[in-house]
Structure 1
Amino acid sequence: MKFLQIAALVAGLATTGPGILATEVPVAAPETVGLASSGLDAIRSHFQAQVDGGKLSGLTTLVSRKGKVVHFEAYGRASLEQATSVEKDSIFRIYSMTKPVTGVALMMLHEEGLFGLDDPVSQYLPEFAAPKVFKSQSEDGIVETVAAHREITIRDLMRHTAGLTYGVFGDTPVDRLYKSGGVLEAGLGPEEWISRLAAQPLLYQPGDAWVYSFAVDVQGRLVEVLSGMSLDAFFETRIFAPLGMVDTGFYLDTEKAERLVTMYFRKDDVLTPTNDPYFPDFTKKPASFSGGGGLVSTTRDYWRFAQMLLNGGELDGVRILKPETVAMMTTDQLPEKLDGIAGGQRGIGFGLDLGIVKDVGKRGGYGREGEFFWGGMANTIFWVDPKEELVAILMTNILPQGLYPLSQDMHRLVYQALGAE
């Protein structure tokens, strides 16, 4: 019976629909790489119940170990209204899971000697010269600032200690200045957007606090300036094409757009189709490319990217980064005075565009020390566990962020299948 279950799993992974072939996703029976089929079945049962109960419209889950995919499932509907199913090649908005891709792109240029991590950003983007830090704002709107103690460095951008913010996730005076200063306006070209952002004061002195921010969008612009290429062209020619990420990009042609899942907002137990005003139409080339959140991708494509990182920068004989560069990206870069990242996420350090698990207990008891990870606004998640040679991915498109403990559930189920819990 167990042999038949394993054979069925391998056959299912090998025939996963258009664009996903057995040769593109190496597969193995779970037991051959130390995972229990029954444990992986529990992943399927758990998330199918989430769909059946109306909590999630649809999703995919993937687990690999030692470079072999042992679990790859699709659940639910890509569109509830059209009754189309999520498939293994469905395309999802990955939002902030764009950030590690941008980090890899920038570090490729670092390997080429085009910049130093502690170079001032203003050396390449002069708009950021002589930054000011917010001090106060009078009732009539006059903003008082103080000079920054030092320039923002590229390392600051890559670890979110630049003093920038996002303008949408908080309500600080600087967040409000982003709104009134037009930083959040859709349709801006890269030069105009950088100009508006750099004109705003910093929320903190550079290096003094971890604040999630537009820093990776600034990194995307740095990639363009340093390489002389648009961000989409750099991603495609230097990362996506070499890695065989055939369905990842900033916009989609007509055929691929049909595979883009509908995004839903859940409120009062009702799933309502919704859209994002900043990325309203993925069938059109945007005026600028968001290195912080503009990509769409498939589970299979993102697995290839994550596996490349696990392999120390190489996949299928194609080297994207040196092992020592990946090691730098996946090592905590935060100053000692900062006890992890903000937002109540204790036990989490931050490398270069990647979260790093430092203390499982402080984190809440899930994950493994040394794990690196990130997620997206519409509840996509991925993590890499180097010690266990493991990659896990969950893709869905539902808001608001953090609606369910998807990462905690996925971690628990994966490590139960590994026999580690």
Structure 2
Amino acid sequence: MAFREFDQPQVSRRSLLRGGLLLGAGTALAGVPLGRQLMAHGHAASWPAIRATVESYVAEGKVANMLATMGWGQNDPEVIARGVLTLGRNVPADQDSLYRIYSMTKPITGIAAMMLVEDGKLALDQPLAEILPAYANMMVQKEYDGGIGEGDLVPAERPITIRQLLTHTAGLGYGIIQKGPIRAAYEERGLVPGQVSRVPIPGLGRAQAVGSLEAFANGLAKVPLVLQPGAKWSYSVSLDLLGRVIEVASGQSFDAFLKARLFDPLGMTSTFFRVPESEQGRFTTNYGILNGMPLPIDPADSSIYLDEPAFPFGGAGLVSSPRDYDRFQRMLVGGGALEGTRVMAEATVRLATSNLLPEGAETVATWVAGEGFGAGGRVTGTAFGWGGAAGTAAFVDMASGLRAALFTQYMPSEAYPIQRGFPDLVMQDLAAMKGA
């Protein structure tokens, strides 16, 4: 279909790109006894509620494909997959298909930073300015999303810390969230840590991103904060900035660090910032939902993810396969190890997946109201996870060893209730198992 059918889309820049998985308040999930019992008996659940939902979404033409991976501990996952990579082409989606995971990149970046905490090269409450001196004397908007002139700003009351970057409490903004002069400043300076399509999409900025993480970090330091550091949870570019922190602290490029310390040791051979030409045949198409109809906004064979990104986006830049992301999750519930390979200490994993919010940070009227936040992901009870802007979702429950992930490709994520409702479907099936 011609792209001009998107001339009047009912989506906003904010809704198109944001990707916050909402883990419901009950998502301490399976409960330790149930999880251990099912793992001990090698139970292979049919996950009927999840299976029925996946089947209905594809059968009704809402999405081209949908896939869920459900696993316990170190057992192989049960894979529920329906649909094709691209509508009109008969290539089925499977565990090795490639998906834009967008903000599900954030927990990966957060865990990478925690590896450097374990190495002694970073500390949670270390001032960011010790790593990046440009952040030593930050200014803050007097009024959230207000002016950015000299008279509109006040000095930061306290330094930005690594903990704040991990938990979206550093006071940084986000071009997909902010409004007014601050958003314009991000675009003018190329502080654009994400991508959607080669094709112009109405309502979505087309600013050219700066060409490196170093340039991104330096540019961001010259823009005022939107909130005082440590004051409030506010979705931000902090995980993208952490990519630069990781580079400086480790002495490696951010993408090289991820490959050497996480992807290669864990056998995550299908996780990329750029999809190699050789792997294009298993790449999905991303769709925009307009009046209930999926229309291609980033076709697999002409995707922007086939191009080299301006820099590796630690907040929303990765493409991965369900198999790979499950291996990342298996490492988490395995306490830092997978198949005999240890990438980090169990104590570090436990800390990373626990509530790291700074004392006093406000969460009222935010996406994480009444909950916690760890190293790039929401913490609800013993569950840790996040979602992506194209409808993906993933979490682990550290007490029971449950791994759960959902993969599909549509925008905006709230066009359908599946991402928000995925944890509820998991709970529904777990309750049925418990009663069986």
TM-score bin (small chain): 0.7 to 0.9
Higher relative contact order (CA 8 A, sep 6+): 2
How many angstroms apart in 2 are the aligned matches of 1:193 and 1:209?
Answer: 23
Give 1:328's match in structure 2, choosing from 346, 351, 363.
Answer: 351
Alignment map for 1:355-370 (pairs within 5 Å): 355-357=378-380, 369-370=381-382
Aligned to 2:397: 385
Aligned to 2:20: none
How many angstroms apart in 2 are the aligned matches of 1:262 and 1:372?
Answer: 28
Counterpart of 2:135, as a letter, is F
Residues 356, 372 of structure 2: 8 Å contact kept: yes
Aligned to 2:41: 32
Aligned to 1:177: 185
How many angstroms apart in 1 are the aligned matches of 2:100 and 2:213?
Answer: 21
List alignment gaps of at least 5 residues for structure 1: 1-28, 358-368
Alignment map for 1:11-410 (pairs within 5 Å): 32-34=41-43, 36-37=45-46, 40-135=47-142, 144-171=152-179, 173-184=181-192, 185-275=208-298, 281-338=304-361, 340=363, 343-357=366-380, 369-410=381-422
What does the per-residue CA deviation read over 1:201-238, in whole Å, with 9 as the maximum and x for residues that have no partner?
A: 00011000101111001111111111121111111111
Residues 96, 323 of structure 2: 8 Å contact kept: yes
How many angstroms apart in 1 are the aligned matches of 2:49 and 2:148?
Answer: 59
List alignment gaps of at least 5 residues for structure 2: 1-37, 193-207
Aligned to 2:10: none
Residues 99, 292 of structure 1: 8 Å contact kept: yes
Residues 132, 147 of structure 1: 8 Å contact kept: yes
Q: Closer, same or farther in 2 for the Cα pair 1:396/1:140, shift >3 Å?
A: closer
Q: What is the TM-score with the length of structure 2 in the denominator?
A: 0.80
Q: Closer, same or farther in 2 for the Cα pair 1:305/1:36, shift >3 Å?
A: closer
Counterpart of 2:406, as a letter, is L
TM-fit CA distance, 1:30: 8.7
How many angstroms apart in 2 are the aligned matches of 1:373 and 1:79?
Answer: 27
Tell me the secondary structure at the aligned position of residue 413 of structure 1: helix
Counterpart of 1:105, as a letter, is A
Residues 341, 349 of structure 1: 8 Å contact kept: no
Counterpart of 1:294, as a letter, is G
Q: Closer, same or farther in 2 for the Cα pair 1:384/1:341, shift >3 Å?
A: farther
TM-fit CA distance, 1:156: 0.9
Residues 99, 216 of structure 1: 8 Å contact kept: yes
- CA RMSD between the two structures: 2.5
Tell me the secondary structure at the aligned position of residue 266 of structure 1: strand
Counterpart of 1:32, as a letter, is H
Aligned to 2:428: 416
Q: Closer, same or farther in 2 for the Cα pair 1:179/1:70, shift >3 Å?
A: closer
TM-fit CA distance, 1:71: 1.8
Residues 146, 180 of structure 2: 8 Å contact kept: no
How many angstroms apart in 1 are the aligned matches of 2:209 and 2:389?
Answer: 18
What does the per-residue CA deviation read over 1:14-72, in whole Å, with 9 as the maximum and x for residues that have no partner?
A: xxxxxxxxxxxxxxx999344643xx244222211111112222121110013223520
How many angstroms apart in 1 are the aligned matches of 2:151 and 2:186?
Answer: 13
TM-fit CA distance, 1:407: 3.8
Q: What is the TM-score with the length of structure 1 in the denominator?
A: 0.83
Tell me the secondary structure at the aligned position of residue 166 of structure 1: coil
Counterpart of 1:217, as a letter, is D
How many angstroms apart in 1 are the aligned matches of 2:77 and 2:113?
Answer: 32
Counting aligned pairs with the same residue, the percent is: 37
Q: Closer, same or farther in 2 for the Cα pair 1:417/1:30, shift >3 Å?
A: farther
TM-fit CA distance, 1:139: 8.5
Q: Closer, same or farther in 2 for the Cα pair 1:85/1:177, shift >3 Å?
A: same
Counterpart of 1:223, as a letter, is I
Moved more, 131-140 or 164-173: 131-140
Moved more, 217-226 or 104-113: 104-113
Moved more, 143-152 or 202-211: 143-152
